Structure formats: structure tokens, C-alpha cells
Amino acid sequence: MSQPAAAPARTVTVRVPAKVNVQLSVGGLRADGFHPLANVFLAVGLYDSVSATRAETPRLTVSGPDAALVPQDRSNLAARAARLLAQRHGIEAAVHLHLAKDIPVAGGMAGGSADAAGALLACDRLWGLDTPREELLALCAELGSDVPFSFAGGAALGQGRGEVLTPLEVGGDFHWVFAVADGGLSTPDVYRECDRLREAEGTGSADTDVPEPVASEALLAALRGGDPQALAATVHNDLQAAALSLRPALAETLTAGLEAGALAGLVSGSGPTCAFLLPDADSAARTAHALTTSGTCRAARPTSGPAPGATVV
Ligand code: ATP
């Protein structure tokens, strides 16, 4: 007797990680408005969950402490991802997307990109499309520079605008604490401030003056070796000065984390979240506690990376 066909899923939920840039080197402003990057991404264990449920008309809801800061209309990156996938397959994007957000919003941890990557995978499975991974990654790149990495997870070197990914080998888990700030920073504002500071310093924002960004061999070796001390000596973020210029109080957060025992502290991406590297899970828990009580951040979250990319749960 043949088995009855399985009923199509009504809801698909995908978990998708935040990222920290262990190296973010920013080249000079190009004529097209973008900066060439050497961007070493590490996915870390703070996750958003994206649920896609069959619906008559498109709908989007958001939960989590920062839900009020997330656009709930067509402009939401997750809604755009669903529309793009539906358009490519010539179908209606009739889906209810629910974003359970744990990644800080506008925090420099690619929360919106994570939701876009999660929505693509969740809708693909809900609609039974089974789009090949390479095609999904190409759609991710259309949605934004950080979206392919959110989809892929692990660790990777991003070149171009950050979207041309080369997966990287990582020799062990790295322990981190993320100090979440009150309020976000706009990524375009931080890039503009970076250009302004470079011009004021006389290093210029034109492509002639700023060296072509390249990945640090020492940093890649530290990742391969799973060596936190070596990684701490090589982490670097070219956007940090700009984020500190726009949000001077972040200097106090960085000092508090270093005083609490971090091997290194840096602004995550365009900020304002600050990332601290620790030698092990126990010291991460202690540093998170010290940061929470320091009054220099809204919350401090211990976690580790590399974390897997978008995963159906
Ligand atoms: P990145 O690190 O990639 O520069 P970010 O982590 O600093 O990004 P996001 O959390 O992605 O910032 O939010 C940036 C802006 O994008 C928000 O202020 C919000 O207006 C908009 N946005 C659109 N869709 C989403 C989404 N699903 N989640 C969060 N923000 C979104």
C-alpha cells in the first residue's frame, strides 16, 4: 500500500546568526558610492528566528525587545527577500513572516541582513521551491552586501562590497561578549563620518589616497589556529574611529570591557555594539557580568563563534 503524500508545511522556521567583523578594512570611496572592503566575518551565537506561514496576503510581524525599531511594512528586508524570491519564480508572495528578533537592531551585527537570509530560506522551503544554494546566495547578494554571509554563516572573507565570499577555516570556538548600546547607528552615517575623518586628517577619501584593503595574513592564521591571543592581537575595524566620533560614550564601554579582562575590544561593524574577545567561556560570563554592572551599556551578551548560517529548525 502506498504512503499518503505528506501535507505541505504550513509554517517553516529558520534560525539565522548575527556577525562580528574581526577585520573590517575600508578602501577609498568609489565613484559608485561604495567602498571596497576586506571584511573578515565571523558568525556568532546570537540569533533571529524567521517564521514563514501560508497566508492569503503578505503580512509581517516582529517580536523582541527592539521590535518597535523595526519597520513592519514593505521596506523590511525580510519582506523584500520574500518578494524577490516569489518574483523570480513567478508566484505570489502571499506569506506571513514573523521575526523573533534577538540580534540588536541597527547594532552593527547585520540583524536586517540575517532576517533577509532567513526569510529567503524559510519561504523557499514553505513554497516547496528547493532553489539551489548558489541561486539563493545570488539572491542574497541582490538584497545587500552582508546578506550572503548571514545565509552562509561560519567564517568568511568578504571582498568587493563584502558580498564576494571566500569561506575560511577556523580551528576552534572563540568566546565573545557583545555590549549592546542604547539606540542604533546608521551604517551610511558611519561610512560618511569615516570619509569625513579621512579628509580632515589629510589621508583623503579618494581612491588614490587610501590603500586597497587586503585581509591580514596574521589574522587568518589566528582564525585557522583557533588562537584567541593571536586573534586579539590582529582584530581591526576601520569604522571604529567613525563610530566613536558619532558616539563618544562607546570609548567608556571599550575601556570597561578591557578592564574586565577582555583580550581585545572593538566596535562591531558600524556599531554601536562593542565586541570583546575572551580566552574561554568562564571569563566571557564574568566579563558580561562586569559590563552589565558597569553602566556603560544596555546589556552584555556572552556567546561564541563560528555559528552555523541560516538553518531550518
Ligand atoms: P549592518 O551591520 O549590516 O550594517 P546593522 O546590524 O547595523 O546592519 P540592522 O539591524 O540591519 O543594522 O538595521 C539597519 C536598519 O535597517 C534599521 O534601522 C531598520 O530601519 C532597517 N531594517 C529593515 N529591515 C530590517 C529588519 N528585518 N531588521 C532590522 N532592521 C531592519
CATH of the domain at 104: 3.30.230.10
Q: What is the pTM of this model?
A: 0.94
| 5 located within any domain | no
Three-state SS for 248?
coil
**Residues 297, 210 within the same domain:** yes
Q: Which residues pair with 23 in a beta bridge?
A: 40, 236
**Residues 47, 178 within the same domain:** no
Any idea which residue has 577585520 for its cell? 23
What separation in Å is there between the alpha carbon of 2 and the centre of ligand 1?
A: 48
Pairing of strands 37-54, 155-159: antiparallel
| Closest C-alpha among 48, 50, 57, 58 to residue 98 | 50
**Residues 182, 283 within the same domain:** yes
| 298 located within any domain | yes
**Residues 238, 279 within the same domain:** yes
pLDDT for the residue 1: 46
Whose C-alpha lies nearest to ligand 1, atom 28? 112
Whose C-alpha lies nearest to ligand 1, atom 31? 112
pLDDT for the residue 160: 81
| 231 located within any domain | yes
Which residues are annotated as catalytic? 19, 146
How many distinct structural domains can be found in the chain?
A: 2
What the block records as the C-alpha cell of 258 is 578591557
H or E stretch at 203: none
Residue where a domain terminates, one of 152, 168, 184: 168
Question: pLDDT tens per residue, the chain (313 residues)?
Answer: 455 556 667 999 999 999 999 999 999 988 888 899 999 999 999 999 999 999 999 999 999 999 999 999 999 999 999 999 999 999 999 999 999 999 999 999 999 999 999 999 999 999 999 999 999 999 999 999 999 999 999 999 998 877 789 999 999 999 999 999 998 999 999 999 999 999 998 776 454 578 889 999 999 999 999 999 999 999 999 999 999 999 999 999 999 999 999 999 999 999 999 999 999 999 999 999 999 999 999 999 999 999 999 999 9
The Cβ of residue 251 has, within 10 Å, a number of other Cβ atoms equal to 12
What the block records as the C-alpha cell of 268 is 562591531
pLDDT for the residue 34: 85
Is 8 flagged in the annotation as binding? no
Is 86 flagged in the annotation as binding? no
Q: Is 202 left (phi over 0), alpha (psi -120 to 50) or beta?
A: left
- The response to whether residue 70 sits with its C-beta less than 6 Å from ligand 1 reads yes
What separation in Å is there between the alpha carbon of 66 and the centre of ligand 1?
A: 11
**Residues 128, 185 within the same domain:** no
Is 172 flagged in the annotation as binding? no
**Residues 98, 33 within the same domain:** yes
**Residues 81, 95 within the same domain:** yes
Residue where a domain terminates, one of 168, 191, 213: 168
**Residues 161, 257 within the same domain:** no
Residue where a domain terminates, one of 108, 136, 168: 168
Distance CA 272, CA 246 (A): 9
Whose C-alpha lies nearest to ligand 1, atom 16? 112
| 63 located within any domain | yes
Looking at the chain, the number of H-run helices and the number of E-run strands are: 10, 12
| 114 located within any domain | yes
**Residues 161, 211 within the same domain:** no
**Residue ranges making up the domain that contains 23:** 11-168
**Residues 230, 132 within the same domain:** no
Specify the CATH number for the domain of residue 190. Answer: 3.30.70.890
**Residues 142, 99 within the same domain:** yes
Is residue 248 within 8 Å of 228, Cβ to Cβ? no
Any idea which residue has 566571557 for its cell? 284
What separation in Å is there between the alpha carbon of 208 and the centre of ligand 1?
A: 31
| 312 located within any domain | no
**Residues 162, 255 within the same domain:** no
